[in-house]
């Protein structure tokens, strides 16, 4: 790959002076276009194409400046692509080329990684103003998050200070994602030498007339409300309009919900972009802006939209068009199947019904009814013949028949099913979906290479209680008909791997299990404190199972992160450990 030319220094005083040169008079009219875009990580040409399309549309609507999300050129998060030789140089060249191609149209404020102004060959997370075929100003991100899924100090060098960008005589307080989160409880920047000042307050002190935040802020339950509260506090403190533009779409285990917005100087919501889908809106800073009612947020709808978008984009961006999953007649596979049909169309979803000698007739009937309701392909493939072949095996047959329906036998049945799903996946190029929920995965009530087999774990970050509540919401509100059969929702859950088997024979009742797990996983509470609310023996059992099964979760397929403490990138625990639960 050809190395880029010697970078031109644009930040600081020189940057500001060049931006000033673009103005012919003070305070010219400015209409801002907010472009909520869905990039593919690493697809520099495709992502630049999204920006060009948005620029054309914004120009048609009379905008003067298009604002894009954080790191739109590379997509977020690019992770160790940033360490690959020449990747960041390629991003810089893509921005330079984009500036040339946009000459003669409106200005664009674009997010990207860069080597510009980054000493010692370090990388900066940047926002640049493109105008008249050139990069006329660049500012760098100041606060680099290093918590939860974020690892930005691995890659980036923080700016010493954020830099104002002037456009049409107006001083724009452009900053990037985390720069707006200074002082929030989860960030703890007060004790961090890299974050001893508030970038937003600094920009206002330097004369910012409007605050503009380019973000790639992943979705979590309740986070959209937290963002609004955060921006309202900035407006209340500084009496400046606030423009927030966020990425949308799924990238690996993260889902970005969009939810871009504009608050006027009184803190009133005057524009809000769509949830979970690309959008573009134009706002006129010079005319009085009328307040809007915020989009109504519903817990189950947010979960459903995030799950749908996460699966849809994972398949699309990994070039899968169809998927396959086991349909047991239980609630988890039913919800996973519905989400898949909603994400990629029922004609692209293939269900395998794999009854064993212990399966009930109603499970097969329920699964078939679900497939018919959705319009999905479904096929019944009994596993008993394969199961009996294992029992006749000279090597392991005696071990199975000496303990029929014991743990080894139950896991074998799950692995036979997993193998059948994977055969269909390999043969047809379909992605295999694992359907386990967070409650089961937390305590290891799942089988490696069995029901855990697959390329994507759709429900891995929602507890069993949410599986039920979302399923009911689908029937009652979204579809307003019985799509997921009532019998699936109402019957006692069972793996049906042994005679008369039910989940609650092994696990605490799910309401109790989920409450304990929420305390242990989401809130990091102690066994002692939770034992004041639940039976101590039950809490110790759950805590022990949670920690002992980290090895299973380490081998889990990627899923969709919906909480701060999702298994995988959101929660990191040792596998080889000895802990005291007394």
| pLDDT per residue as tens digits for the range 217-270 | 999 998 888 899 999 999 999 999 999 999 999 999 999 999 999 999 888 889
| Peptide bond preceding 77 in cis form (omega within 30 of 0) | yes
Query: Which of 442, 477, 502 is the C-terminal boundary of a domain?
Result: 502
Please check whether residue 538 is in contact with residue 508, taking contact to mean a CB–CB distance below 8 angstroms.
yes
Closest to 446 measured CA to CA, from 490, 410, 471: 410
Specify whether 121 is located in the same domain as 197.
yes
pTM above 0.75, yes or no: yes
- For tokens 């990207």, name the residue: 112
Q: What is the rounded end-to-end Cα distance, in angstroms, of the chain?
A: 59
Specify whether 167 is located in the same domain as 234.
yes
Specify whether 93 is located in the same domain as 225.
yes
Q: What is the pLDDT of residues 51-85, one digit of tens each?
A: 999 999 999 999 999 999 999 999 999 999 999 88
Distance of CA 69 to CAs 36, 137, 309, 344, Å? 7, 17, 18, 26
Q: State the average pLDDT over residues 2-7.
A: 32
Specify whether 276 is located in the same domain as 328.
no
Specify whether 274 is located in the same domain as 227.
yes
Determine, yes or no, domain membership for 478: yes
Per the DSSP assignment, residues forming a β-bridge with 242 are 211, 263
Determine, yes or no, domain membership for 567: no
Query: Which of 450, 480, 502 is the C-terminal boundary of a domain?
Result: 502
Point out the least confidently predicted range of 94-103, 339-348, 442-451, 495-504.
495-504
Specify whether 323 is located in the same domain as 210.
no
Non-local (6+) Cβ contacts of 335 within 8 A are 435, 459, 467, 470, 471, 474, 484
CA distance 304 to 298: 10
Determine, yes or no, domain membership for 336: yes
Determine, yes or no, domain membership for 83: yes
Q: State the average pLDDT over residues 3-28.
A: 38
Non-local (6+) Cβ contacts of 374 within 8 A are 337, 338, 341, 346, 349, 483
Please check whether residue 420 is in contact with residue 385, taking contact to mean a CB–CB distance below 8 angstroms.
no
CA distance 560 to 570: 11
Closest to 145 measured CA to CA, from 42, 39, 70: 70
Instruction: Report how many domains make up the chain.
Output: 2
Determine, yes or no, domain membership for 519: no
Specify whether 280 is located in the same domain as 348.
no
**CB hemisphere CA count around 276 (13 angstroms):** 20
* pLDDT of 2 above 90: no
Q: Return the biggest CA–CA distance within the chain.
A: 90
Determine, yes or no, domain membership for 561: no
Query: Which of 285, 319, 344 is the C-terminal boundary of a domain?
Result: 285
Specify whether 308 is located in the same domain as 340.
yes
Task: Give the pLDDT of residue 187.
Answer: 52
Which domain CATH number covers 257? 3.60.110.10
Task: Give the pLDDT of residue 21.
Answer: 36
Q: DSSP character for 123?
A: B
Residue 388, SS3?
helix
Q: Sign of the CA dihedral 219, 223, 227, 230?
A: negative
**What residues are labeled active site?**
70, 141, 177
Please check whether residue 22 is in contact with residue 54, taking contact to mean a CB–CB distance below 8 angstroms.
no
Task: Give the pLDDT of residue 391.
Answer: 86
* pLDDT of 380 above 90: yes
Determine, yes or no, domain membership for 70: yes
Closest to 141 measured CA to CA, from 99, 171, 113: 113
Closest to 244 measured CA to CA, from 311, 294, 175: 175
Q: What is the pLDDT of residues 426-478, one digit of tens each?
A: 999 999 999 999 999 999 999 999 999 999 999 999 999 999 999 999 999 99
Residue 250, SS3?
strand
Specify whether 59 is located in the same domain as 145.
yes
Per-residue tokens: 60: 């048609």
Per-residue tokens: 373: 């309701």
Please check whether residue 36 is in contact with residue 258, taking contact to mean a CB–CB distance below 8 angstroms.
yes
What number of other Cβ atoms are within 10 A of residue 430's Cβ? 21
Q: State the average pLDDT over residues 511-524.
A: 93
Task: Give the pLDDT of residue 196.
Answer: 63
Specify whether 344 is located in the same domain as 251.
no
CA distance 55 to 105: 8
Non-local (6+) Cβ contacts of 198 within 8 A are 182, 183
**pLDDT more than 90, % of the chain:** 66
**pLDDT more than 70, % of the chain:** 91
Which domain CATH number covers 364? 3.40.50.620
CA distance 188 to 183: 7
Determine, yes or no, domain membership for 69: yes
For 134, the domain range is: 24-285
Specify whether 320 is located in the same domain as 262.
no
Q: How confident is the model at residue 8 (pLDDT cuts 50, 70, 90)?
A: very low
Specify whether 266 is located in the same domain as 336.
no
Please check whether residue 269 is in contact with residue 291, taking contact to mean a CB–CB distance below 8 angstroms.
yes
């Amino acid at each position: 790959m050809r190395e880029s030319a010697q970078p031109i220094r644009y930040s600081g005083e020189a940057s500001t002076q060049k931006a000033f040169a673009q103005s012919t008079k003070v305070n010219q009219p400015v209409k801002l276009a907010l472009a909520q875009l869905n990039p593919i990580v690493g697809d520099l040409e495709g992502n630049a194409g999204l920006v060009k399309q948005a620029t054309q549309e914004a120009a048609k609507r009379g905008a003067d400046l298009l604002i894009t999300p954080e790191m739109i050129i590379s997509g977020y998060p690019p992770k160790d692509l940033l360490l690959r030789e020449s990747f960041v140089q390629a991003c810089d060249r893509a921005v330079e080329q984009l500036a040339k191609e946009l000459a003669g149209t409106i200005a664009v404020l674009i997010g990207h990684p860069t080597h510009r102004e980054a000493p010692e060959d370090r990388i900066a997370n940047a926002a640049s103003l493109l105008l008249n075929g050139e990069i006329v100003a660049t500012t760098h991100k100041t606060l680099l998050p290093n918590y939860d899924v974020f690892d930005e100090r691995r890659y980036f060098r923080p700016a010493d200070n954020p830099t104002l960008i002037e456009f049409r005589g107006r001083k724009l307080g452009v900053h990037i994602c985390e720069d707006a989160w200074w002082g929030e409880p989860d960030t703890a920047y007060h004790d961090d030498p890299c974050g001893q000042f508030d970038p937003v307050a600094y920009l206002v002190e330097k004369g910012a007339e409007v605050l503009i935040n380019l973000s790639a802020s992943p979705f979590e339950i309740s986070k959209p409300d937290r963002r609004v509260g955060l921006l309202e506090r900035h407006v209340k403190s500084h009496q400046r309009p606030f423009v927030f533009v966020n990425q949308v779409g799924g990238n690996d285990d993260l889902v970005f919900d969009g939810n871009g917005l504009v608050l006027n100087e009184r803190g009133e919501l005057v524009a809000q972009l769509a949830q979970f889908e690309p959008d573009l809106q134009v706002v006129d800073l010079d005319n009085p802006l009328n307040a809007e009612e915020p989009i109504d947020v519903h817990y189950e709808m947010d979960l459903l939209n995030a799950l749908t978008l996460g699966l849809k984009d994972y398949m699309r961006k990994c070039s899968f068009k169809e998927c396959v999953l086991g349909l047991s007649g239980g609630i988890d596979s039913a919800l996973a199947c519905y989400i898949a049909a909603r994400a990629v169309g029922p004609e692209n979803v293939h269900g395998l019904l794999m009854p064993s000698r212990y399966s009930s007739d109603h499970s097969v009937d329920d699964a078939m009814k679900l497939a018919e309701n959705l319009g999905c392909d479904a096929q019944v493939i009994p596993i008993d013949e394969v199961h009996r072949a294992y029992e006749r095996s000279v090597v392991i047959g005696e071990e199975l028949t000496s303990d029929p329906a014991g743990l080894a036998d139950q896991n074998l049945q799950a692995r036979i099913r997993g193998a059948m799903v994977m055969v269909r996946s390999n043969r047809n190029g379909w992605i295999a979906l694992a359907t386990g929920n967070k409650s089961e995965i937390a305590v290891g009530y799942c089988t490696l290479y069995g029901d855990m087999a697959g390329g994507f774990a759709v429900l891995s970050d929602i507890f069993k209680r949410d599986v039920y509540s979302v399923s009911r919401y689908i029937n009652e509100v979204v579809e307003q008909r019985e799509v997921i059969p009532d019998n699936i929702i109402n019957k006692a859950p069972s793996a049906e791997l042994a005679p008369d088997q039910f989940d609650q024979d092994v696990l605490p009742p799910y309401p109790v299990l989920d409450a304990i797990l929420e305390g242990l996983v989401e809130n990091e509470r102690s066994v002692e404190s939770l034992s004041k609310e639940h039976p101590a023996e039950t809490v110790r059992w759950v805590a022990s199972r949670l920690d002992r099964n980290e090895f299973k979760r380490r081998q889990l397929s990627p899923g969709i992160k919906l909480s701060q403490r999702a298994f995988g990138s959101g929660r990191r625990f040792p596998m080889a450990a000895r802990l005291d639960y007394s």
